[in-house]
């Protein structure tokens, strides 16, 4: 381990990364000195306290973790053989002299510089710098000096948007076989399929019902970095497949609304899906639950012969703010929004004007080029873009949120429109728009930094037919709650040979078994 050098401390003031390394090194030194009799343990504690008071208010949570771990790593048994020289008090004075410069350098934790910001709520569509402090957006201005941030990300040639919100996923993963999308192998643990595509908030669409919501919370919400919300299934057992999903006796509006009241932070809507049969009872129960809990209802029309009328659904059964997912489906047993000749049914635009939300919900069986192309050519636009993520869609035509957005981009929607339909609009629909879906100063710092590639790309629908396109959206960087959670090309990370990073601190809970307390 390298020694403690005055020059290192001087240069530390100029660069946060060096400061970080020096701090860690300094702390190691204090520990070593204490252990070898160079300083008394009380002095070591005093130095620690001073360091904490000076640095912790400026530090990011990750940094605190790093620094906090160092003292564990360099416990006595791991120290090098030769004893260190005693500490000299003036070293510490020099160290403190450097602190004011460090403070200046840390006004913002992250600065996204030179990116093209798309933020529908604030009407921004142009070049802005975005600064983040802790878990919040701290400033959005035409130009913010790099010197004011401890970490600067060059976002030129990239688009900076609010963290994406996917309104339709299936993430109630578990180990029960034969339970379709509730606690099953068909649902996915979210973090592997969201953050790397810019999605910071994902809404499970009907996996759990009121009977198993707590299990979902324990297994998925509490264990995921992705911000997880839920449309609670009107079926008590959730999306457990048949026969459970056909059980009218398990569709209890009152108990469903009660569960929504119990968990308002997570339950943002009610879901009805997969009901087979020409019966409006399930729709009425879901709408009743939604009205009781004051949250929107998402309808995935099941299969019925004869089919249930979507005109009646849009104009008579649903309330403004409710959602019709799988809007570009063309499937047996469900009515499509376009007729056989490709004409958009006249009541669709009326429904949109009425406030019914047309949601994409691509999935493994609900996105057809013939429907989407015809609808968009006739002026219809989906208000929200979502994936219907599950094992049956990720490796087929759907793939991920940005792939679905790319499809709509290639079908003629503008980048502004597809970003709005994946950020600001979904945030409004599920009423999380006070802090999410936009980049206002004070909002939660969920940010996606996207690249729009131009070239020749192919996209497939659920019938496995291809559409050639010119644009493909990819995610370079994802920030959630102010923390970098995806960095495709390391644009938010320093070059490895420009920083001095000490060995990883290891895990304290493991270290205590390696070096048990005496």
- Our CB check for Zn ion shows the closer of 23 and 372 to be 372
- Our CB check for Zn ion shows the closer of 28 and 205 to be 205
Which residue has the closest beta carbon to Zn ion?
388
SS3 of 443, please? coil
- Residue 366 CB, shortest distance to Zn ion, in Å, is 8
Is residue 244 at the binding interface for Zn ion, with CB under 5 A as the rule? Answer: no
- Residue 233 CB, shortest distance to Zn ion, in Å, is 11
Of the candidate spans 2-10, 312-320, 366-374, 387-395, the one that interacts with Zn ion by CB under 5 A turns out to be 387-395
- HEC string of 145-197 equals CHHHEEEEEECCCCEEEECEEEEEECCCEEEECCCCCCCECCCCCHHHCCHHH
Secondary structure tally for the chain: helices H, strands E = 16, 17
Of the candidate spans 54-62, 86-94, 225-233, 383-391, the one that interacts with Zn ion by CB under 5 A turns out to be 383-391
- HEC string of 455-515 equals EEEEEECCCCCEEEEEEEEEEEEEEECCEEEEECCCCCCCCHHHCCCCCCCCCHHHHHHHC
- Our CB check for Zn ion shows the closer of 68 and 241 to be 241
- Our CB check for Zn ion shows the closer of 117 and 171 to be 171
First CA to last CA distance, the chain: 26
- Our CB check for Zn ion shows the closer of 151 and 274 to be 274
- Residue 323 CB, shortest distance to Zn ion, in Å, is 12
- Our CB check for Zn ion shows the closer of 205 and 375 to be 205
- Residue 388 CB, shortest distance to Zn ion, in Å, is 4
Of the candidate spans 65-73, 151-159, 381-389, 487-495, the one that interacts with Zn ion by CB under 5 A turns out to be 381-389
- Residue 201 CB, shortest distance to Zn ion, in Å, is 17
C-beta atoms surrounding 435 within 10 Å = 16
Beta-carbon contacts of residue 235 (< 8 Å; ≥ 6 apart): 209, 244, 245, 247, 250, 251
CA distance 208 to 217: 9
Q: Which is nearest to 285 in space by CA: 360, 321, 235?
A: 235
- Residue 285 CB, shortest distance to Zn ion, in Å, is 19
Of the candidate spans 372-380, 384-392, 394-402, 476-484, the one that interacts with Zn ion by CB under 5 A turns out to be 384-392
Rounded to whole angstroms, what are the CA distances from 441 to 131, 135, 427? Answer: 9, 11, 17
The token duo for 517 is: 């307390």
- Residue 488 CB, shortest distance to Zn ion, in Å, is 28
- Residue 166 CB, shortest distance to Zn ion, in Å, is 11
- Residue 472 CB, shortest distance to Zn ion, in Å, is 24
- Residue 360 CB, shortest distance to Zn ion, in Å, is 11
How many residues at the interface with Zn ion, by CB under 5 A? 2
- Residue 65 CB, shortest distance to Zn ion, in Å, is 37
CA distance 307 to 27: 71
411 phi and psi, to 5 degrees?
A: -90, 0
The token duo for 68 is: 């906090």
CA distance 513 to 518: 12
Residue with tokens 């996204």: 112
- Residue 246 CB, shortest distance to Zn ion, in Å, is 17
Question: Looking at 388, 417, 476, 483, which residue binds Zn ion (CB under 5 A)?
Answer: 388
Rounded to whole angstroms, what are the CA distances from 136 to 129, 154, 326, 393, 479? Answer: 14, 19, 34, 34, 11
Of the candidate spans 44-52, 223-231, 382-390, 465-473, the one that interacts with Zn ion by CB under 5 A turns out to be 382-390
Of the candidate spans 45-53, 119-127, 257-265, 386-394, the one that interacts with Zn ion by CB under 5 A turns out to be 386-394
- Our CB check for Zn ion shows the closer of 39 and 400 to be 400
- Our CB check for Zn ion shows the closer of 205 and 430 to be 205
Residues in the chain, overall count: 518
The token duo for 429 is: 């629909």
Positions in 179-238 near Zn ion (CB under 5 A): 205
Of the candidate spans 69-77, 371-379, 388-396, 491-499, the one that interacts with Zn ion by CB under 5 A turns out to be 388-396
- Our CB check for Zn ion shows the closer of 322 and 388 to be 388
- Residue 376 CB, shortest distance to Zn ion, in Å, is 22
Beta-carbon contacts of residue 152 (< 8 Å; ≥ 6 apart): 110, 111, 113, 146
Q: Which is nearest to 406 in space by CA: 461, 360, 354, 452?
A: 452
- Our CB check for Zn ion shows the closer of 205 and 485 to be 205
Beta-carbon contacts of residue 269 (< 8 Å; ≥ 6 apart): 203, 230, 231, 232, 290, 295, 296, 297, 298, 323, 430
Structure letter (DSSP) for residue 87: P
- Our CB check for Zn ion shows the closer of 1 and 331 to be 331
- Our CB check for Zn ion shows the closer of 180 and 266 to be 180
Residue with tokens 């059964």: 317
The token duo for 221 is: 């919400």
- Our CB check for Zn ion shows the closer of 245 and 388 to be 388
Binding-site ranges for Zn ion (CB under 5 A): 205, 388
């Amino acid at each position: 381990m390298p020694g403690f050098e005055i020059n290192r401390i001087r240069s530390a003031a100029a660069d946060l990364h060096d400061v970080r390394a020096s701090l860690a090194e300094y702390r190691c030194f204090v520990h070593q000195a204490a252990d070898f009799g160079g300083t008394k343990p009380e002095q070591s504690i005093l130095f620690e306290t001073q360091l904490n008071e000076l640095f912790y208010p400026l530090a990011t949570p990750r940094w605190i973790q790093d620094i906090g771990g160092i003292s564990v790593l360099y416990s006595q048994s791991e120290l090098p053989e030769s004893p260190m020289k005693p500490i000299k008090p003036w070293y510490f004075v020099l160290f403190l002299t450097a602190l004011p410069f460090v403070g200046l350098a840390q006004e913002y934790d992250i600065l996204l510089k030179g990116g093209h910001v798309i933020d529908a709520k604030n009407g921004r569509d142009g070049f802005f710098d975005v600064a983040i402090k802790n878990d919040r957006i701290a400033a959005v201005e035409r130009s913010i000096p790099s010197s004011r941030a401890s970490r600067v990300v060059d976002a030129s040639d990239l688009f900076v948007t609010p963290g994406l919100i996917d309104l339709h996923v299936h993430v109630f993963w578990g180990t029960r076989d034969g339970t379709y999308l509730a606690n099953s192998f068909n649902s996915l643990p979210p973090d592997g399929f969201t953050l790397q595509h810019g999605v910071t908030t994902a809404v499970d669409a009907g996996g759990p019902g009121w009977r198993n919501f707590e299990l979902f919370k324990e297994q998925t919400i509490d264990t995921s970095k992705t911000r997880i919300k839920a449309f609670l299934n009107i079926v008590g057992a959730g999306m457990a497949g048949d026969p459970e999903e056909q059980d009218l006796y398990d569709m209890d509006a009152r108990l469903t609304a009660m569960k929504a009241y119990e968990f308002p932070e997570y339950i943002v809507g009610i879901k009805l899906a997969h009901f087979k049969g020409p019966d409006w009872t399930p729709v009425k129960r879901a709408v009743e639950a939604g009205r009781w809990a004051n949250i929107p209802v998402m309808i995935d029309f099941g299969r019925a012969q004869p089919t249930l009328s979507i005109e009646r659904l849009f104009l008579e059964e649903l309330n403004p703010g409710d959602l019709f997912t799988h809007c570009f489906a063309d499937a047996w047993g469900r009515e499509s929004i376009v007729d056989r000749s490709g004409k958009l049914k006249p009541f669709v635009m009326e429904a949109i004007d009425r406030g019914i939300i047309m949601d994409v919900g691509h999935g493994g069986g609900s996105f057809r080029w013939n429907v989407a192309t015809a609808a968009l050519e006739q002026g219809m636009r989906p208000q929200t873009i979502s994936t219907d993520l599950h094992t049956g869609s990720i490796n087929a035509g759907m793939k991920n949120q940005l792939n679905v957005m790319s499809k709509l981009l290639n079908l003629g929607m503008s980048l502004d429109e597809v970003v709005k339909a994946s950020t600001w609009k979904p945030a409004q629909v599920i009423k999380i728009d006070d802090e999410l879906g936009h980049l206002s100063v004070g909002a939660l710092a969920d940010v996606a930094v996207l690249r729009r590639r131009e070239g020749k790309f192919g996209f497939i629908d659920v019938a496995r037919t291809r559409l050639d396109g010119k644009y493909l959206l990819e995610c370079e960087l994802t920030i959630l709650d102010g923390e970098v959670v995806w960095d495709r090309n390391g644009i938010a990370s320093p070059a490895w040979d420009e920083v001095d990073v000490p060995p990883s601190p290891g895990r304290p809970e493991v270290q205590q078994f390696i070096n048990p307390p005496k």
